[in-house]
Amino acid sequence: MQELTHYIDGAHVKGTSGRFAEVFNPATGEVQAKVPLASKDEMDKAVAVAQKAQPAWAATNPQRRARVMMKFVELLNRDMDKLAEALSREHGKTLPDAAGDVQRGLEVVEFCIGAPHHLKGEFTDSAGPGIDMYSMKQALGVTAGITPFNFPAMIPMWMFAPAIVCGNAFILKPSERDPSVPLMLAELMEEAGLPKGVLQVVNGDKEAVDAILEHEVIQSVGFVGSTPIAQYIYAQGCANGKRVQCFGGAKNHMIIMPDADMDQAADALVGAGYGAAGERCMAISVAVPVGDETADRLIEKLVPRVEALKVGPYTSGNDVDYGPVVTAAAKANIERLVQTGIDQGAKLVVDGRDFSLQGYEDGFFVGAHLFDNVTKDMDIYKHEIFGPVLSTVRAQSYEEAIGLAMDHEYGNGTAIFTRDGDTARDFAARINIGMVGVNVPIPVPLAYHTFGGWKKSMFGDLNQHGPDSFKFYTRTKTVTSRWPSGIKEGGEFSIPVME
């Protein structure tokens, strides 16, 4: 069995804690590797290496740091197929979806190439007699990120690319479920010219997380995962004086108005609801048709599409729509919630409970499920399922539909499908959710905008990537400068004011 490593000071380093986690092939259910789980001592050593490497990197001018990102983009494109295959093997995603995971991270790296512009400060000439004022954006120092299993390439790059191009060192604690791609990314960053020790990968569980939160050298922490853990990391990180951004769970609604193109809406729901087996924080898990006639038309369109979905291993190439979920525990939780929906009175229109794939009976495959007549008091509506399950909640009016999304505790993403511009404009303006799609089912912003939800989907003040990332990974220092020019008045003892 393969034994994975940490990546510290430019080298693969075996774990010394004696603790390991199993890494599965979700398609077969087999253990394919074991990954070391770092102790506090191992984390401390990695931080010490980062602290030593960071000052020289921060002193490197932004244009040279950006050139490392340029080369990194080239290497990501070169190794795209290799990265996608490794990602699919541990996560279960289809190969095209895995390549998309890498691509969306790559696009953030491309945005970071503009660091010389984004790191410019402000200047005021002659703010007072002989006085100039200017601001500088300076690196924080050693920063850290704790990333989830569902995007093992994209989200690490969303964090470490802006952090590093701003002049910081970065400690990455990836998910122990699919750690190979983060290790490969660290290798590629150094091949691109990044000095050793600036980016390090330390695998681990809660012990490693707590070591990050408690380490006084680490200045900021980014996190993506479930809301309970996001709340814990945010509270502990802030209590320890760190800058923290945490992104939690989601329950994304898509409202379908009576005037919507029903074929377009159905296609969008199938892709957004079942892609990546529903293991996306931006997946649409709730369809809200307005009016019973709209709902009946939508269900009629959805059923054959959902029943036709092809489920299989990533080795099937482009011939499958989605693969297995990541672990046996994830599969069991999805199946439990599906049964809860039935028990609480929802109508299971497409039943995927008996799904089995010949030759892969031990894999973590879950059939596609479609519910109708779901109500907001049901568990399948209240909780994030993170699986191939779409719930239909019928609304009798636009106001009822928008109210469902606005009243839910999560506020990550939402969408509306309509041909009416006035309705769409009202929806975008009123909805209390961070990312909004108009006839776009998964409104993940492009790299030069920011990504972030509201309510219990996000804890912190600044979003991921885009302009916010350069704010999050830097501190602003403002300098007031005065050079002697024959001024001989002597000291002043009252507070200075501008005349």
Residues acting as catalytic residues: 281
User: In whole angstroms, how large is the CA radius of gyration of the chain?
Assistant: 25
Tell me which residue of 272, 300, 69, 290 sits closest to 185, measured CA to CA: 69
CA distance 475 to 135: 10
**Dihedral angle, C-alpha 123, 124, 126, 129, nearest 10 °:** -100
Tokens 């809301």 map to which residue?
Answer: 227
CA distance 119 to 110: 15
Confirm if 106 and 73 have CB atoms less than 8 A apart. yes
What is the separation of C-alpha 377 from the centre of its chain, rounded to a whole number of angstroms?
Answer: 28
Tell me which residue of 369, 364, 367, 363 sits closest to 341, measured CA to CA: 369
Confirm if 369 and 338 have CB atoms less than 8 A apart. yes
Burial label for 5, CB within 10 Å (0-12, 13-18, 19+), is middle
Query: What are the C-alpha distances in Å from 222 to residues 219, 245, 280, 409, 430?
Result: 11, 5, 18, 22, 29
